[in-house]
């Protein structure tokens, strides 16, 4: 049998469960999962390798109408990943009110085979699920519609088999031992970011960027320095908290996640830095890897 390889784009609106699905498919904690929308800003690639195939999953940012330069950069990535895709998985939520016009518009130009995944069916009933499946069948005439629960791992294997079946014949794009094209620094920053999303309310996470300024690997210990960048002094005070309490909490949990992920002791130091209005400044966006 010839070797198969291809790019599979997971698309959908914020909070549809794309990252959870990606992690279930890749089998590793690749993308950050938080209950807040819009945490995946980058196209994270998770790679599944087998002797006969290589699947390169990209988890796109949730599709939104761009509000400022940062969002525009995110949406270009979505467009790019639709164009690049050999296969598209559209993840939709059982609660979705069919207002996915933005998503569908982006699919119009695509020639790639498409599967629709109706997620979170564990929270629903048979009738609702059936109605959803019929709706998508009629609306998009995809190659397949799957009722899944990414969280409960329900029907994920069927999706995986569908993906393998529809991969084009092609040699591997990446070294077979590469789990992902993102380096350890990226995962370290995502783990801090996940805690920022978890520990702070509303606008704070969206005004925040996490930069790893130093990553020194040792036999027994990794030394990691990070900067949390915010737009205003008031945000800096919130991030640090009274007597540094909040930053300590973020640091403690992020460090635990890192130790589990890297299987090493981690020494983590974090600094908070104010860069006024960084989200609208192209040079900063470029520096932070958004271009």
pTM summary value: 0.58
Domains and CATH numbers, the chain: 4-166 (3.40.50.300), 184-287 (3.30.300.20)
Q: What are 221-250's pLDDT values in tens digits?
A: 999 999 998 888 998 999 999 999 999 999
Q: Determine the Cα–Cα distance for residues 7 and 173; give it in Å rounded to an integer.
A: 9
CA distances from 157 to 152, 182, 191, 197 (A): 12, 25, 27, 30
* Buried-exposed string 48-61: b where 16+ CB fall within 10 A, e elsewhere: bbeeebbbbbbbbb
Question: Is the Cβ–Cβ distance between 32 and 190 less than 8 Å?
Answer: yes
Work out the end-to-end distance of the chain between its first and last CA atoms, rounded to an integer number of angstroms: 39
Q: What are 37-87's pLDDT values in tens digits?
A: 444 444 555 778 888 998 888 766 554 444 555 555 555 555 555 556 889
Residue 39's pLDDT is what? 47
Quick one: how far is CA 164 from the chain centroid? 21
Q: What are 141-165's pLDDT values in tens digits?
A: 899 999 999 888 889 999 999 999 9
Question: Is the Cβ–Cβ distance between 19 and 96 less than 8 Å?
Answer: no
135-144, 208-217, 226-235: least confidently modelled range: 208-217
- The tokens of 270 are what? 């974090």
Question: Is the Cβ–Cβ distance between 74 and 41 less than 8 Å?
Answer: yes
């Amino acid at each position: 049998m010839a070797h198969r390889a291809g790019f599979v784009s997971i698309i959908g609106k914020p909070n549809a469960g794309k990252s959870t699905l990606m992690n279930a498919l890749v089998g590793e904690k690749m993308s950050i999962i938080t209950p807040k929308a819009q945490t995946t800003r980058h196209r994270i690639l998770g790679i599944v390798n087998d002797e006969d195939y290589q699947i390169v999953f990209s988890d796109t940012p949730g599709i939104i109408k761009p509000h400022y330069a940062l969002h525009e950069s995110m949406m270009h990535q979505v467009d790019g990943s639709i164009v690049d895709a050999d296969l598209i998985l559209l993840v939709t939520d059982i609660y979705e009110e069919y207002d996915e016009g933005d998503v569908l518009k982006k699919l119009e130009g695509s020639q790639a085979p498409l599967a629709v995944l109706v997620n979170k069916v564990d929270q629903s009933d048979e009738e609702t699920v059936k109605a959803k499946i019929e709706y998508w069948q009629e609306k998009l005439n995809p190659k397949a519609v799957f009722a899944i629960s990414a969280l409960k791992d329900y029907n994920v294997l069927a999706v995986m088999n569908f993906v393998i079946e529809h991969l084009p014949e092609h040699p591997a794009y990446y070294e077979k031992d590469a789990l992902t094209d993102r380096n350890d620094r990226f995962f370290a920053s995502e783990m801090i970011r996940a805690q920022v999303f978890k520990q702070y309310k509303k606008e704070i996470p969206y005004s925040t960027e996490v930069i790893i300024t130093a990553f020194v690997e040792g036999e027994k210990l990794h030394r990691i320095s990070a900067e949390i960048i915010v737009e205003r002094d008031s945000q800096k005070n919130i991030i640090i908290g009274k007597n540094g309490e909040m930053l300590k909490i973020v640091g403690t949990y992020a460090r635990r996640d890192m130790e589990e992920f890297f299987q090493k002791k981690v020494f983590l130091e974090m600094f908070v830095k104010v860069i006024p209005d960084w989200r609208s400044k192209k040079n900063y966006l470029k520096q932070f890897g958004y271009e």
